[in-house]
């Protein structure tokens, strides 16, 4: 193998280390795409590392951080400071960094502090891209997008200077936590989906693509408002071509051309192939999230990353559990060829708006027929009863008028006289 091939093998070796041990074989099979020589070279590197000891039992995030930045650093303790922000508690961690609840000591408000992994903070080029992306995100406000307040830099007790993104603190569960309780009824799912679509539309109008939309990145506030988190951060943290990376499952970051960026179960097919994406990737992810809300299960699932990506590229979702009038919406979002997919998230929501009207229209003939039958039955009863009443057989020819309200666009007007009966339907 020449130097370029060994460089590719080394990058794949790094990427394999980022994955759990039981996922590495499937990952290599997918990433090498039939290149047996390359796959054997990477497997040899992994075997040597296995002989050396601990990597199989060490979390991938820690290994990569140690390899590239001399250690990840200890979590920030309660009471420690990052600039003017005082840490109160940890909220979570992922490939985008660790998140803390913090107090803004200047403005006396609670915020979310997303601390970038040390590898990112030490990469000058990547940090510059991150700051530019953060400026774009901060340039517009939307009620369904968690706001960015700024970027903070400062020393920490962990022993290294850190960079943190200051974000709006959003209380409430994630959509992922809500879906874990089971499928959502339409009257709950539709308002949430509408707000997600509104957030995507606003971002797309500003040229921002989320690229990692998933239920875990969507918060549900107690007042019913929906907030989409981490807009544009996937792009901001993407390394330069050929640069090293850091990752935390299930989000995978790109480490070389053709590698993956995003969360496999919510990736559009073009994203799963490692090709450039646009807003249509978000429309795909919206369809996957909406499907999961309605059914309580993932549209594309599998035992490992490889099988999930295979499902994304080749399989169709099960449609049982999806209301028939919304299936067209989801199918339009989940077209595997982006050229056939909806071009704008607003189009998806127009289909949602049209679905109830279409359903009502399809039921109208049945309703009309039932109402007409009821009216006819009533008139027939009157006609049958008339000859047997004790009153004189012949009465003055006064018509009997029966009005039945069938709605604003339909009317039924039976007219009964001594010699005839006329039913008028308008």
Q: Which residues are part of the catalytic machinery?
A: 212
What's the DSSP call for residue 415? Answer: E
Separation between Cα atoms, residue 367 and residue 408, nearest integer Å:
13
Separation between Cα atoms, residue 64 and residue 17, nearest integer Å:
8
Sign, CA torsion 128/130/133/138: negative
Structure tokens at 124: 């000058």
**How far are the Cα atoms of 10, 171, 317 from residue 218, in angstroms, in the given order?**
36, 11, 22
A 10 A CB-CB count for 332 gives: 16
Q: How many CA atoms lie within 13 A of 419 on its CB side?
A: 2
Separation between Cα atoms, residue 115 and residue 411, nearest integer Å:
67
What's the DSSP call for residue 251? Answer: B
Alpha helices in 296-409 (DSSP H): 305-314, 324-333, 345-385
Structure tokens at 324: 């028939």
**127 contacts 121 by C-beta, under 8 angstroms:** yes
Cis preceding linkage at 55, omega within 30:
no
Widest distance between CA atoms in the chain: 114
Separation between Cα atoms, residue 55 and residue 94, nearest integer Å:
20
**53 contacts 42 by C-beta, under 8 angstroms:** no
Separation between Cα atoms, residue 149 and residue 167, nearest integer Å:
6
């Amino acid at each position: 193998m020449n130097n370029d091939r060994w460089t590719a093998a080394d990058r794949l070796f790094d990427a394999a280390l980022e994955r759990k041990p039981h996922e590495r074989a499937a990952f290599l099979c997918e990433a090498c795409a039939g290149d047996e020589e390359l796959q054997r070279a990477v497997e040899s590197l992994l075997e040597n590392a296995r002989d050396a000891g601990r990597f199989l039992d060490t979390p991938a995030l820690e290994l990569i951080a140690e390899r590239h930045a001399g250690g990840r650093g200890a979590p920030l303790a309660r009471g420690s400071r990052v600039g003017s922000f005082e840490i109160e508690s940890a909220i979570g961690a992922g490939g985008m960094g660790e998140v803390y609840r913090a107090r803004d000591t200047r403005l006396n408000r609670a915020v979310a502090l997303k601390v970038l992994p040390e590898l990112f903070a030490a990469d000058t080029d990547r940090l510059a891209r991150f700051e530019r992306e953060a400026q774009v995100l901060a340039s517009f406000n939307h009620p369904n997008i968690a706001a960015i307040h700024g970027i903070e830099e400062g020393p920490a007790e962990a022993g290294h200077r850190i960079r943190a993104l200051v974000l709006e603190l959003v209380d409430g569960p994630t959509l992922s936590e809500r879906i874990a309780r089971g499928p959502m009824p339409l009257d709950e799912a539709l308002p949430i989906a509408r707000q997600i679509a509104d957030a995507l539309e606003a971002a797309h109008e500003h040229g921002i693509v989320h690229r990692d939309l998933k239920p875990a990145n969507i918060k549900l506030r107690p007042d019913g408002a929906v907030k989409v988190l981490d807009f544009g951060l996937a792009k901001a943290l993407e390394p330069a071509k050929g640069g090293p990376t850091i990752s935390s499952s299930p989000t995978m970051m790109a480490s070389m051309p053709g590698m993956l960026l995003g969360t496999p179960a919510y990736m559009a097919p073009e994203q799963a192939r490692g090709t450039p994406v646009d807003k249509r990737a978000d429309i795909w992810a919206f369809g996957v999230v909406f499907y999961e809300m309605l059914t309580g299960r993932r549209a594309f699932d599998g035992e490992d990353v490889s099988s999930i990506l295979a499902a994304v590229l080749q399989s169709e979702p099960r449609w049982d559990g999806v209301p028939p009038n919304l299936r067209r919406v989801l199918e339009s979002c989940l077209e595997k060829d982006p050229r056939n997919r909806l071009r704008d998230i607003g189009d998806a929501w127009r289909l949602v708006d049209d679905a109830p009207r279409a359903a009502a229209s399809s039921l109208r003939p049945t309703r009309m027929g039932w109402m007409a039958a009821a009216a006819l039955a009533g008139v027939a009863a009157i006609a049958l009863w008339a000859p047997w009443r004790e009153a004189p057989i012949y009465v003055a020819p006064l018509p009997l008028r029966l009005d039945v309200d069938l709605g604003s666009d339909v009317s039924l007007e039976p007219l009964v006289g001594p010699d005839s009966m006329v039913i008028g339907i308008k």
